[in-house]
Amino acid sequence: MATLSTPQQQAGVLSFYDAPEKGPLLNAKILLIAVAVFTIVIIVLDHFVALG
pTM above 0.85, yes or no: no
Supply the pLDDT for residue 18: 56
Q: What is the pLDDT of residues 7-50, one digit of tens each?
A: 555 555 555 555 566 777 788 899 999 999 999 999 999 988 87
Q: Alpha-carbon distance 10 to 4, whole Å?
A: 11
Supply the pLDDT for residue 32: 95
Supply the pLDDT for residue 39: 97
Supply the pLDDT for residue 42: 94
Residues 14/8, Cβ–Cβ less than 8 Å: yes
Supply the pLDDT for residue 12: 54
